[in-house]
Amino acid sequence: MRASRGLATVIDLFSRRLLGYAMGARQDAELVVASLNMAAATRGGDVKGVIFHSDRGSEYVSRRFRWACRRLGVTQSMGRVGSCLDCEDDRVPFRAVA
């Protein structure tokens, strides 16, 4: 059986720049919070008013991630239930990899 691994990334949709990432044994709230914190540090800590768009995965709706967004002043935005096209931009950098 192959081990599952998680990768969480934060990409600026305007510049397509990778601002933060985290890798771990699982795709969970701890992983996405770590990538968000790295992205905030990359931007010098000034992320108040930034919009973070994601799907409705459990790691993004978790209390831990919502609290991290509030602490940093980041506004969460999520796609509609059942609409994969709302997060189309999430997969753009990985099309060549997938």
Whether 98 maps to a domain, the answer reads no
Choose among 20, 9, 14, 80: nearest CA to 45: 20
Whether 38 maps to a domain, the answer reads yes
Q: Tally the domains of the chain.
A: 1
Spatial neighbors of 18 by CB under 8 A, at least 6 apart, are 9, 10, 11, 93
Tokens 């940093």 belong to residue = 72
Whether 76 maps to a domain, the answer reads yes
Whether 95 maps to a domain, the answer reads no
Average pLDDT value for residue range 70-75: 96
pTM of structure: 0.80
Choose among 27, 29, 93, 37: nearest CA to 66: 29
pLDDT by residue (tens digit) across 18-71? 999 999 998 999 999 999 999 999 999 999 999 999 988 899 999 999 999 999
Whether 77 maps to a domain, the answer reads yes
Q: pLDDT at residue 81 above 90? A: no
Q: Which helix (H) or strand (E) holds 30?
A: helix 29-42
**pLDDT score recorded for residue 76:** 94
**Which CATH number does the domain housing residue 59 bear?**
3.30.420.10
Domain that residue 41 falls in: 6-90
